[in-house]
Every structure is written in structure tokens, then in C-alpha cells.
Amino acid sequence: MMHPYIPTTHEDEQEMLKVIGRESIEELFSDIPEEFRLSRELNLPGAKSELEVSSYLNSLAKQNRSLSEMTCFLGAGAYDHYIPTIVDELISRSEFYTSYTPYQPEISQGTLQYIFEYQTLICNLTGMDVANASLYDGGTAVTEAALMAVSHSRKDEIIVSKAVKPEARQILKTYAHMQGLTVVEVDLKDGVTDLEELDSKVSDNTAAVIVQSPNFFGIIEDLKATGEIAHKGKKTVFIASVDPISLAILKKPVDLGVDVVVGDAQGMGIPLSFGGPYLGFIASKNDYLRKLPGRIVGETVDKNGKRSFVLTLTAREQHIRREKATSNICSNQGLNSLAATIYMVTMGKEGLKEVALQSTKKAHYALEKLIASGKYKPLFDKPFFKEFAVTSDVDVNKIQESLLEENIIGGYNLGKDYPQYENAVLYAVTEKRTKEEIDKLSSVLEGI
Amino acid sequence: MKVEKDLLYTNDHEWVKVEGEFAYVGIADYAQHSLGDIVYVELPEVDDEFEKEEAFSAVESVKAAADVFMPVGGKVVELNEELIDEPALLNTDPYGNWMVKIELANKEELDELMNSEDYEKFLAEEE
Amino acid sequence: MRKYDKLIFELSKPGRKAYNLPELDVEDKDVKSLIPEEFLSDEELNFPELFEVDVVRHYTNLSDKNYGVDTGFYPLGSCTMKYNPKINEVAARIDGFANLHPYQAEETIQGALRLMYELDESLAEIAGMDKMSLQPAAGAHGELTGIMVIKSYHEKNGDHHRNKLIVPDSAHGTNPATAAMAGYKIVEVKSNKNGLVDIEALKAVVGDDTAGLMLTNPNTLGIFEKEIKQIAEVVHGAGGQLYYDGANANAILGHARPGDMGFDVVHFNVHKTFSTPHGGGGPGAGPIGVKKHLEEFLPVPVVRKDGERYYLDYDLPNSLGKVKDFFGHFGILVRTFAYVLTMGKDGLRRASSIAVLNANYMASILKEHYYLPIDTIFKHEFVLGGLKDTLSEVSTLDIAKRLLDLGYHPPTVYFPLIINQAIMIEPTETESKETLDEFIEAMIQIAGEAEEDPQLVKDAPHNTIVSRPDETRAARNPILKYEG
């Protein structure tokens, strides 16, 4: 049977077999022992036409309720920010998306240059010296940074704040367990990392101190004070996970003593897509360059002196250093780093700030609105960016159901990960939300 | 491959020059040649202590990376910091550019190393 | 082609903007009244100022400096650069898939969960496994997750002394790096002269400290490990588990299944075998499959079905934990599923048949002009050892660069490490005989040039926009960002 992606005709097949000196294609599989040759068909449906595939997938998609028919106040690490049209339009150029990792620089200058631009933008945003070409997501980026710190400091204890996104901590614990590393968690105090407790835990055994800011509850942590405590440990690396959009208005991590910055840049041009693929980023001070995982692009000149870009410092990576590499990462989030690059330059100097400011102002308006009647109370009284938690006597499930009836996706149920915050909900408000939508959220909540 | 007299050598192509209780350690011509253009040298810190055959440094070229192992145990007392800014020195003059100076932990370990004649024979067999 | 050599930052002009947001419709309070000043930056953001056409032209021009599968033949060994069907791209962008928040209520994501469940079942059938996890983000991440499954299994059995993973010397670099990341020591086992795992050497290294063996089958030379049954017996006999690196799965779809060969864990690189795009380096996805006895160790959550309801199951007490945010690269999984539906059982099998036919066809002709160190039946790829004249001053790198002049993406070079001057060619099934013949002609031409005019090849490429960028300079004095 002929298939649209496979051009080989019966005639081609016969000619090719003749050249090889074989009678049939089956003979080419004769090196697989008979007992392992599948003697039946795979238990799958037969090939389908494009119309059938498209119709089936659309029918599945219709069994979902997407954000285009609902208003989203859910965040917790994945955000409904505005994506300029040109982002998807440009990343859909197939010279970008059908290419491999840029191992042949002569025919990959497009990819290499955008990675260089991406690295520059991430450095400018965080104030760091170097950034890599990307990591899988914000959660694994926290772990990669921790492993970097372990390798740098040759110590085996990682301290992490409980205000770091729960899934990121779970990933960290999984990896740490495998390598026999110790993870020590620091408790919360009024919605932020308990710095007194942190101070009591940092020692010369501490490889890394990890916090998140804005933290999981949306609250801005005191990174400067945290860093001072972290650096009491000998060679301890201070790691901060950040929301890159917040850095358009908040102080840069580098100015607050952070050594390694990580995070997820999904909010910068990447669709929610039910959780992935997103975009992990990592940037550090120069001191940690050789321990940085993954690919890095550098500028050089070609043999005629022309500016060009290449993958560089590759001797850190798995394909050369094998078991001694800091990380095994190979495929990264290439195309998503292009999306974020296009997003960052499109929004530009003023745009990213406007996104950050509008999100902040709308989130604060929303909190004010939600607590006005007294039915809902802020869970914490701390400065926040675009997310905040409120608590009440109303059952969380009841809240979520009532909102859903009104086509609103409610916030994140904090009781799932923090039993002490039963009936507390974390709401995210981006620049996309309108006053009308916020008012509706508030009125539905009041009516419960 | 150049082999310098009066030095001691390992199977991994490191060399040692002994001065009393101290010794200088570097990589042999063979090692720099097989790595190619060296672009980065990672050095330990002063006061770090290493056992014999423990990796104390890593040397990188564009397409390769190699650990450098301690020929004998000891404590690092001095680093050749010039190598950090100019790693290519290991290519141009591997014997003129030591990597670390160590205080020997156990001089008897020196007996297990090859002298230049033995090392030349070893190289011939490697070919 | 238009000569274009600007960085985006060099286009910036103060005052321009490329975006438009709605006006703020809530009260415009001073941000200092909302967030204490000590946290606020007093610097301007160092980002460019452009207008929309700047951005569009810039990235369109950059795309022109790239070469993709849509541009031409891409016989990059071990990478399976097959055609990336367009319907996959459209599918991933359907509103009901692209605009879902991962933490939405279960009743609003039934279609997404059903897609994952059905893909899980399809991949398990293709692999001969009992249950998949769709969570891993890439091949290397799948490897790591799979090895963590094995480690969790040994730990539950109290086999804490099993601390060594065996990896053949022909393995991808990710294998040893993965083993180390999972906290294992690596034991390398040499290949025999036929490029296969040496059974005697394997027997010599297994023992009660063996956690498992990581194997790519067909291996990185494109050769099927015929003695897989004995290999499995040796490893299982020592109490180890067998890991299948699915990088080369495009050779066996519908013909053989890792699960039937005795493997306990498998990963697929869907961006290789299942046609999702490589995206200039990613994102891909690396789902893993396991046999029944390992299912309890899979990362949470796993997708399950209860009657008509699909749900995410977090209740796996012996799970290794979490390895990734949320549930995996859903957008990539949609593309994978579209491909599996399109190909069906017959199409998948046909894909491997033709991938193998193409590789053997090319090898049969090219071995007359290049050195073929191991001449046997190949699967989906084969490895040349440079020119026949091994003393030629023309290296594999030169040949690769000369191919650029002739309009091709070169094969994988200098891998696997066990073949000197390796040129690893993987044509895939989506290339016509005409394309293969033209590429073969180009290779023969270069072999001729290497004899008659070696300098021409050594100086290649001659007609690309840049030629042999200085990698030593880049590494010695790293410039890793634009500083204006």
C-alpha cells in the first residue's frame, strides 16, 4: 500500500533489492532471530486518512473545555499571558522547526543566532553573566541548578524553602534520592521562607540554598537577606527560581546576591498546552560557567573573519564527558526558546514592563475586590506580584464548582500541598484579565 | 612525542618533577597532543589534598575532555594560575608549564612511577 | 539569498514598539503603593525597541540561514530526521489542546486525558510493554526515568548493593551520563569485531552488583544484536534489568518488539521515531514503557481509565516520585498521537521496512567508494569509516563540509566512537529513491575529489554563508551574549 509519507513504489523496491542482492525486504530482517519477529500485526487500527485523523482529534479536543471559552484565574506555575500573533507565525517557519540541533554551524546560523540572542535576553533580564540554551522546565531547572551546586561545592546537602513550587521540590527529592544527596526543607513563616530557621540550617555542608521569588504563594521573598544567610556556608550556592516577567519591575537577582537563577519562561510566548512543552531557563555568574548543564552558543569568526555563532564549551556535555558530565541533558526546548526570544523582543523594553505592571495592578485590584465583603480573607499579608491566596469557611470544591458553572477556572487549591491551608485558594491574575472578568469572579464568589 | 629527561611519568601521561619534599605536576607532550587545542584548564584549590590516582584537574579541548590524575598523593601548595588565562601554554610547552605544586604525602609512591626511558618504551608500545 | 548579518539588538531604536496591549481598566495605582520600593528595580530593562516588521523580517532572515528536513535530505545517523507531517502541527494547535491549563478540573480535560490514555496504550503495544509513562521530556530524560524505575525496583527488593550499570562502548553519550545521574557506576563492555556486544565480556562483568544493562538495538552501528536472547539471559540471570534505548526504534516498528526480546524498560524518542519535529534541538518527548513488575515504580501521575472516566492517578505508593512539572510534553504527545493514527499498524511497519531497505541500498553502493568497516545486513542506518584510502589527507570532517556545498545536511560524523573517521548515515523511509541516488552521486563525487583535488575538499564549504567558524577561539575566549 502506498502512503503519503513513504514514496517507495513497488518498482523502486525491486530495483533496490536487486542492487542489495536480496529477494525481499523480509530478508533484510533475517538478522532478527525468528522467535522475536512479530508474526502478527500490531494490535492497532489501520492507517487513516487526513480527514479521519483530523476529525477524531477534533472530537477529542471538543471533550475539553479550553481557555477560549472560560476565564482563567489559575496559575501555580503556568500562566495565561498574552502571546503576540507573530510568535507562532514565525516559529512555524519549517526551516526552524524541522532542523536538528545546530551541529553544522554553516547551515545552522539561524538557530545558533537566536540562541545567542536568547542567552543575551535572559542575561539582561536576570543580570547574570551566562545563560544556557534552555532546560526542560522550571521544575527540572531547579534540580539541575542544585546538582550544579553539588558538583561545584563538593557537598551533599541541599536546602530548599517550602515556598518553592511543590512539584519542583518533588522532582528535586527524586533526583537527590537517586544520588544519595540530602534535601532539607525550610518551613514557612507568614507565607515566606522562615529565615531564622534557614539560618540555623545552613552549614559548611550546604551545597545550595534554593528559594523561589515570587514564591509559590505569589509573595516576593527577601532575596538579599536570604542570600546573606546562604553565603554563610563555605562555597554554598544561592539559587533563586523566579518568574521572568516579574523581573521587568523587580530588582535583578544578581543585585540581590543570587548565584544561579532558574525558572520557567512559559509565560513568555508559550501556550499553556496542558502542561508542556514549556521552557526551563538557567543563568549564572561566570564562576559556575563550567558546571552549567546543556548547550551554550558562543560568538566567533569564520575562516574569512566573518561573525558567526557556534555551539561552544561542549566538553562539559554528555556526548564528550559521558559519565562525568554535570547533566545528561541533550534535547532541550529549542523551539520554545525561539518563541520566548521573539516574545521578549516583540514586547521589548516597555512591553514586558507593561505586562508586569498590569498584572500586578489587576492582581491587587482582584484581591481588594475579593476581600471587600469580608467573606474571604487574605491568607497572608505580604507584598505579592500577580498571585495571591485567600481563605474562607467555604469548601474549596464548592468554590471551584460554582465558578466552573459560570465558565470561570478558579485558583489553585493550596490544601492539596499544604494541609495547614485547607480552604485556601491561590488566584493568578495576568494582564489578560479584564476588570469585568475580575468583578464577575468576585460576585460569583460572594454569591456562594 | 617529546619526553623530558629527569622527570617521572604515569601511564596516564602525567609528569612529576621532584624538589625535596615538594613536587611539580603537569601533563606530558603525548597528552596535550592527543587532546588538541586546549581551551580550558580546571585547577584545584590550594590546600586541597589528593590521593594517588585521584583526579585533581580537568583539561578541555574543543572536542575532548580529560581528567588529570595525581601521580602521587599530596597537598596542593601552589597553582600555576597562568593556565587559567592561557590554557594554550599546555600545548606550546607542556613540560615548561606545571599545573600544581604539591607537598608529597608519601615519597615511596614515587618509586611506582616510570623514568623517562621507561616512559619512552611505554609510548612506543602504545603506538 | 539576501545578505543579512544583524543581531536583533542592532535594529533597536528608542521609542519604537512592536506590541499593543489594552489600556489598563482598573484603577492605575502607583506600583510603589502596591510593592515596597526596596523590591522594585530602578533600572530600565535592557531590551531592544523595535516595530513589528523589524521582528518579522529579522527572524524570517534567520530562518533562511537554516537547513531543515523541509529544505532537503538530512541523513543524520541516530537522529531519524524523517518528514514532520503538517497535520501534526495543526493538531497540536487545536484550541481544545493548546489552551488548556494543566491544573484544570478533571471534567474539563477528559479529551486530553483520553488522548494520553490511548497514546499510552498504542505505544505499549508497539513496544511490547505493559504500561507507559508519557512524562519524560526527551530521550535522555526517558533514559533517566527508566533507570530510576530500575533503581526503585532494586531498592524495594533490598538489593542496595546493585550499584553498577553496564553500557556497551558503542553507546550514546547520554547512557553513561544518565547512569551517573541516577547514582550508578558505569561498567563499559567492549564490542566484538562484528560490532556487537561480546557475550563472554558481558559474562565477565555481570555479578551481584549488576543493576542492569542499557542497550540500543539495533545498536549505533545499525546492526541488530542477534544474541539478544543470550544477553537477556546473562543480565537477568545475574539479577539485573534490561533497558532498551529506543533511539533506533525506527528500524523495527511492527517487525519486532523490545518487550518480546526480554527488555524490562523502554524509551522512545518520539521526535525521532514518531515524526515530531526536532525544533532545532527540542522540545521532544521520551515516553517510557515498563513490564508489569515495574509498573508500581513509574513516576506520578499515570493516566488511567475507570469506566468512561479518564483520570490522573497519583496514588502509587512505590512510585519513584516526580521527574517533571505537570504531566509531560502534551503538545508533543498530540503530534505523536496524530502520527500513530495516520500511519496505523500497516503504515508503521511499512515505515521500518523502507527505512531498512533505504539504508541497505545506500550501503551496498557506497561501500564500493568508501571504507565500510563492518559489512553485514543493516537495519535503519550504517556506519562508514571515511575514505577507502585511510592515509588520505581528507578527513571525515572535510567530507561532511563538502556535502554542504552540494546542498545536503551531512550525516553524523565521528560517532560511534569505536569506528575511526565514522560517517553514520540514516536515510529514513520518507526519502525517495531519486533523492538517495542523488546523495549517493554526491558522495561518490567527493570521494573522487578527495583523490584528484584534496585541497578543494579540505577547504570546503565554499558556498555557505559562513565557513568553518573558529571553534577554538569561541571556547578559549567565550563570548556568550551581546554586549553592544
Given strand B55-61, what is the order of strands in its sheet? Answer: B38-42, B55-61, B65-69
Cα dihedral A433, A434, A439, A444 sign: negative
Chain A residues contacting B, CB < 8 Å?
A: 290, 313-316, 320-321, 324
CA–CA min distance C345, chain A (Å): 5
Give yes or no: residues A294 and A365 share one domain: no
Give yes or no: residues A333 and A416 share one domain: no
**Given this model, what pLDDT does residue B126 score?**
74
A20, HSE (Cβ side, Cα atoms, 13 Å): 25
3-state SS assignment for residue C339: helix
> In C, which residues are within 8 Å of B84 by CB distance?
none
Give yes or no: residues A127 and A77 share one domain: no
> Is there a domain that residue A64 lies in?
no
Among C265, C280, C282, C284, residue whose Cα is nearest residue C333: C284
Mutate to test the interface with C, among A312, A329, A331 (most CBs of C within 10 A): A331
The angle that helices C330-366 and C433-452 make with each other, rounded to 10 degrees, is 60
Among C300, C297, C317, residue whose Cα is nearest residue C241: C297
CB contact under 8 A, C101 and A167: no
For residue C248, the domain's CATH number is 3.40.640.10
Give yes or no: residues A405 and A267 share one domain: no
> Is there a domain that residue C257 lies in?
yes
Give yes or no: residues C227 and C207 share one domain: yes
| Rounded (10°) CA dihedral A297, A301, A303, A309 | 30
Give yes or no: residues C243 and C304 share one domain: yes
| pLDDT above 90 for A325 | no
Q: Ramachandran region of residue C444, left (φ > 0), alpha (ψ -120 to 50) or beta?
A: alpha
Q: How confident is the model at residue A122 (pLDDT cuts 50, 70, 90)?
A: very high
> Is there a domain that residue A78 lies in?
yes
> Is there a domain that residue A61 lies in?
no
Closest alpha carbon within chain A to B44: A152
> In A, which residues are within 8 Å of C326 by CB distance?
78, 137, 167, 274-276
CB contact under 8 A, A8 and C432: yes
- Domain edge (last residue) among A295, A322, A342: A342
Closest alpha carbon within chain C to A319: C173
Q: Give me the amino acid identity at C250.
A: N
Q: Using alpha carbons only, give the angle C463, C469, C475 rounded to the nearest 5 degrees.
A: 170
CA–CA min distance A314, chain B (Å): 7
Q: How confident is the model at residue A320 (pLDDT cuts 50, 70, 90)?
A: confident
Cα dihedral C304, C305, C306, C309 sign: positive
> Is there a domain that residue A56 lies in?
no
> In A, which residues are within 8 Å of C406 by CB distance?
none
CA–CA min distance C327, chain A (Å): 6
| Single pTM value for the model | 0.96
Give yes or no: residues A166 and A76 share one domain: no
Give yes or no: residues C335 and C356 share one domain: no
Give yes or no: residues C35 and C115 share one domain: no
> Is there a domain that residue C481 lies in?
no
**B42 touches C at CB < 8 Å:** no
CB contact under 8 A, C472 and B60: no
CB contact under 8 A, B42 and A324: no
Give yes or no: residues C182 and C287 share one domain: yes
Give yes or no: residues C403 and C356 share one domain: yes
Q: Using alpha carbons only, give the angle C398, C402, C408 rounded to the nearest 5 degrees.
A: 125
3-state SS assignment for residue A74: coil
Give yes or no: residues A131 and A27 share one domain: no
Whether A139 contacts A130, CB under 8 Å: no
**Given this model, what pLDDT does residue B127 score?**
66
Residue C229 burial by Cβ neighbours in a 10 Å radius (0-12, 13-18, 19+):
middle
CB contact under 8 A, B65 and A321: yes
CA–CA min distance A317, chain C (Å): 9
**B62 touches A at CB < 8 Å:** yes
What would the pLDDT profile of A134-183 be if each residue is shown by its tens digit? 999 999 999 999 999 999 999 999 999 999 999 999 999 999 999 999 99
For residue B19, the domain's CATH number is 2.40.50.100
CB contact under 8 A, C476 and B39: yes
CB contact under 8 A, C475 and B88: no
Give yes or no: residues A305 and A204 share one domain: yes
CB contact under 8 A, B62 and A316: no
> Is there a domain that residue C467 lies in?
no
Q: Give me the amino acid identity at C296.
A: E
Give yes or no: residues C386 and C298 share one domain: no
Give yes or no: residues C321 and C362 share one domain: no
3-state SS assignment for residue A259: coil
Residue C244 burial by Cβ neighbours in a 10 Å radius (0-12, 13-18, 19+):
buried
| Domain ranges, residue C423 | 346-458
CB contact under 8 A, A324 and B67: yes
Cα gap A14→A12, rounded to integer Å:
5
More confident residue, B85 or C84: C84
3-state SS assignment for residue A38: coil
> Is there a domain that residue A52 lies in?
no
Give yes or no: residues C208 and C284 share one domain: yes
Closest alpha carbon within chain B to A310: B62
| Domain ranges, residue A374 | 71-82+350-447
Task: Measure Cα distances from A304 to A300, C103, C462 in Å.
Answer: 11, 53, 11
Cα gap C373→C382, rounded to integer Å:
10
Domain count, chain C: 3
**Given this model, what pLDDT does residue A324 score?**
80
> Is there a domain that residue C397 lies in?
yes
> Is there a domain that residue A46 lies in?
no
Give yes or no: residues A147 and A33 share one domain: no
Give yes or no: residues A362 and A230 share one domain: no
CB contact under 8 A, C472 and B39: yes
Cis bond upstream, residue A271 (ω within 30) = no
CB contact under 8 A, C325 and A357: no
> Is there a domain that residue B50 lies in?
yes
> Is there a domain that residue B98 lies in?
yes
The angle that helices A166-179 and A138-153 make with each other, rounded to 10 degrees, is 40
CB contact under 8 A, A313 and B40: yes
Give yes or no: residues A174 and A319 share one domain: yes
What would the pLDDT profile of A178-195 be if each residue is shown by its tens digit? 999 999 999 999 999 999
> Is there a domain that residue A380 lies in?
yes
Q: Give me the amino acid identity at A212.
A: Q
Give yes or no: residues C370 and C329 share one domain: no
> Is there a domain that residue B119 lies in?
no
**Given this model, what pLDDT does residue C2 score?**
56
Give yes or no: residues C328 and C354 share one domain: no
C389-428 residues touching B, CB cutoff 8 A: 414
| pLDDT above 80 for B116 | yes
CB contact under 8 A, A320 and B39: no
Q: How confident is the model at residue B56 (pLDDT cuts 50, 70, 90)?
A: very high
Residue C135 burial by Cβ neighbours in a 10 Å radius (0-12, 13-18, 19+):
buried
The chains found to touch A (3+ Cβ pairs under 8 angstroms) are: B, C
The chains found to touch B (3+ Cβ pairs under 8 angstroms) are: A, C
C464-483 residues touching B, CB cutoff 8 A: 471-472, 475-476
CA–CA min distance B115, chain A (Å): 30
Give yes or no: residues C398 and C429 share one domain: yes
**B37 touches C at CB < 8 Å:** yes
**Given this model, what pLDDT does residue A306 score?**
96
| Domain ranges, residue B12 | 8-105
> Is there a domain that residue B22 lies in?
yes
> Is there a domain that residue B65 lies in?
yes
Residue C160 burial by Cβ neighbours in a 10 Å radius (0-12, 13-18, 19+):
exposed
Mutate to test the interface with C, among A12, A31, A36 (most CBs of C within 10 A): A36
Cα gap C108→A70, rounded to integer Å:
10
ipTM reported for the complex surpasses 0.85: yes
Give yes or no: residues A24 and A145 share one domain: no
**A25 touches C at CB < 8 Å:** yes
For residue A76, the domain's CATH number is 3.90.1150.10
> Is there a domain that residue C484 lies in?
no
Give yes or no: residues A4 and A107 share one domain: no
Cα gap A157→A186, rounded to integer Å:
13
Q: How confident is the model at residue A103 (pLDDT cuts 50, 70, 90)?
A: very high
Task: Measure Cα distances from A289 to A293, A326, C479 in Å.
Answer: 9, 11, 12
Domain count, chain B: 1
pLDDT in 10s for each residue of chain C, 484 residues: 457 999 999 999 999 999 999 999 999 999 999 999 999 999 999 999 999 999 999 999 999 999 999 999 999 999 999 999 999 999 999 999 999 999 999 999 999 999 999 999 999 999 999 999 999 999 999 999 999 999 999 999 999 999 999 999 888 889 999 999 999 999 999 999 988 999 999 999 999 999 999 999 999 999 999 999 999 999 999 999 999 999 999 999 999 999 999 999 999 999 999 999 999 999 999 999 999 999 999 999 999 999 999 999 999 999 999 999 999 999 999 999 999 999 999 999 999 999 999 999 999 999 999 999 999 999 999 999 999 998 999 999 999 999 999 999 999 999 988 899 999 999 999 999 999 999 999 999 999 999 999 999 999 999 999 999 999 999 999 999 999 8
Among B19, B4, B10, B12, residue whose Cα is nearest residue B94: B4
> Is there a domain that residue C368 lies in?
yes
> Is there a domain that residue C55 lies in?
yes
- Domain edge (last residue) among C317, C343, C369: C343
Domain count, chain A: 3
**A338 touches C at CB < 8 Å:** yes
**B58 touches C at CB < 8 Å:** no
> Is there a domain that residue A415 lies in?
yes
| pLDDT above 80 for A310 | yes
The chains found to touch C (3+ Cβ pairs under 8 angstroms) are: A, B
Closest alpha carbon within chain A to B65: A315
Cα gap A71→A44, rounded to integer Å:
38
- How big is the B-C interface in CB pairs under 8 Å? 14
Closest alpha carbon within chain B to C414: B63
CB contact under 8 A, B63 and A316: no
> Is there a domain that residue C75 lies in?
no
